Amino acid sequence: MSKFTPILSVSLALLAAPLSYAGGHTAAEPAKPAAMDHSGHNMGGMNHSTEPDELGRRLFGMEHNMEPELVEELREKVPLFANYSDAEIGLSMKMMGSSYAWYLSDKGMKGKQGVLLLLHGFRDGDPLFKQEVEMYSTIFPTAMAPGMAMMMSDHIQLAIDDLEAAGAEQIAVIPILSTGVNTMMRQWEYIFGMREEATYGSVKRVKSNAKILMGHPPGDDPLVAEMLIDHALEISEDPAKEVVIIAAHGPTFPEDNEMVLKELANIARVMREDSDFSDVMGITLQDDAPPEIRDANVAKLRKMASDAIADGKSVLVVTNLIGTRSVQSKLRKDLKGIDYKFNKKGIAEHPNFVEEWMGESIRELFEDAES
């Protein structure tokens, strides 16, 4: 079982509270990457040293770009920010943590195929996530670029530059999100020139001489269903008398939410087929939507649980989120007064996430590029 406990922000209202890990693990200091001269980079109008810190991270701790036009663009595009002041948006950005680049492979690693991991970030847990993906950093030049890229893309550019310096001519980009129906995914696609419009700030697009191979988040991959079966079984006593509810974050916009509900239905169907649980259902909470929308979803969640209990069943709650700490406190309030069990693990804690899903994603991207 994975040694880390990630937390995924489940609400922009909490300002995408950063991912983190629990436990007292410490990460070994990584070798620094082959040096490139990034000193000429101008970070969205801000001068900032791009020299790696003691762990090899570039831009770590850098303030977010708060140029007025980007702030106004966020206010227009993110419903939650519509009535926020500049100061409130600035605080939101600060609470998200740093956007930075981290080259993970040994400085002697060279290869024509490189791997870039895009993720929200685990803050203090990032070194532990690095340990989890070391199996890839010893096979391919590998980098990660944590951060939501709402106000900058320089961290992604630096990661690409480091991979190219290691000889990468093809770069498999692995987006570590629960679903591709996600504004963060679209922002990354914009940054790589795959979409015309940014979902957040219209930041700089990356430039690369390598062929970019963009992967897909797990979504309704059957492997997610198998992970969630395992997580449900960990808190199960008698599957035939238990109903499993998959609680998902859920996108703000209605058309996106419908697509995610279909993904959850597909996951639930596989879980029903491959387990002995009485029933499996999915629901999105739409945490970043206006309160009346989220409240309606909470009412649906409570009815699901109450109906199951009235039918003589026990209620188990799992989630397809990458990590879960932020959703835990919300579920306690949402389901107050209802008897249920919740597995606090996100799918990134299942060993098959890194060992199987990520490996298959990388392999398929490189194989497709050769076909």
Structural domain contains residue 46: yes
Same domain, 176 and 265: no
| pTM (two decimals) | 0.85
Q: Is 365 helix (H, G, I), strand (E, B) or coil?
A: helix
273 and 211: one domain?
Answer: no
Which regions of the chain are under pLDDT 50? 1-47
Instruction: Please say whether the beta carbons of 98 and 146 come within 8 A.
Output: yes
Q: Residue 84: which H helix or E strand, with range?
A: none
Of 16, 11, 5, which Cα lies nearest the Cα of 331? 11
Query: Structure tokens of 208?
Result: 């690369």
The total number of structural domains that make up the chain: 2
**Residue 370 covered by a domain:** no
In a domain, 229, yes or no: yes
Same domain, 300 and 179: no
The token pair that represents 295 in the structure block: 């409240």
Q: Which secondary-structure segment (H or E) carries 313?
A: none
| Distance spanning both ends of the chain, measured CA to CA | 35
Assess whether 209 and 235 both reside in one domain: no
Phi-psi bin for 16: left (phi > 0), alpha (psi -120 to 50), beta? Answer: left
- What's the pLDDT score for residue 326? 63
212 and 227 inside one domain: no
- pLDDT of the residue at 214: 98
Residues 152 and 237 grouped into a single domain: no
Q: What is the pLDDT of residue 114?
A: 98
- Among residues 199, 217, 235, which one ends one of the domains? 217
Q: What does the pLDDT read at residue 11? A: 34
Pick the closest to residue 158 from 29, 64, 36, 30 (CA basis). 36
Hey, CA dihedral for 307, 308, 310, 315, is it positive or negative? negative
16 and 141 share one domain: yes
Question: What is the rounded distance in angstroms from the CA atom of residue 279 to the CA atom of residue 53?
Answer: 50
Q: What six digits make up the tokens of 17?
A: 């509270």
**pLDDT tens per residue across span 31-43:** 343 343 343 344 4
What pLDDT does 48 receive? Answer: 58
Same domain for 271 and 157, yes or no, is no
The answer as to whether 36 is a domain residue is: yes
| 369 falls within a domain | no
CA dihedral 7, 314, 259, 275 (to 10 degrees): 100
| 3-state SS class at 299 | helix
Task: Mark which of 171, 198, 217 sits at the end of a domain.
Answer: 217
> Are the C-beta atoms of 117 and 143 separated by less than 8 Å?
yes
Find the domain containing 300 and state its range.
Answer: 222-349
Last residue of a domain, one of 169, 187, 217: 217
- Same domain, residue pair 187 and 105: yes
Task: Please tell me whether residues 142 and 253 are part of one structural domain.
Answer: no
- Cα–Cα dist 313/98, whole Å: 44
Same domain as 228, residue 212: no
CATH number for the domain spanning 256: value is 3.40.50.1400
What is the predicted pLDDT for the residue at 302? 98
Residue 261 belongs to some domain of the structure: yes
Give the whole-angstrom CA distance, residue 157 versus residue 145: 9
Backbone angles phi, psi at 182, to 5 degrees: -160, 135
- How far from the centroid of its chain's Cα atoms is residue 360's Cα? 18
185 and 286 co-located in one domain? no
> Tokens for 83?
């009535």
Asked if 186 and 202 count as a contact pair (C-beta separation under 8 A), the reply is no
The candidate with the shortest Cα–Cα distance to 20, out of 358, 348, 364, is: 348
Whether residue 366 is contained in a domain is answered as no
pLDDT at site 112: 98
Q: Is residue 85 in a domain?
A: yes
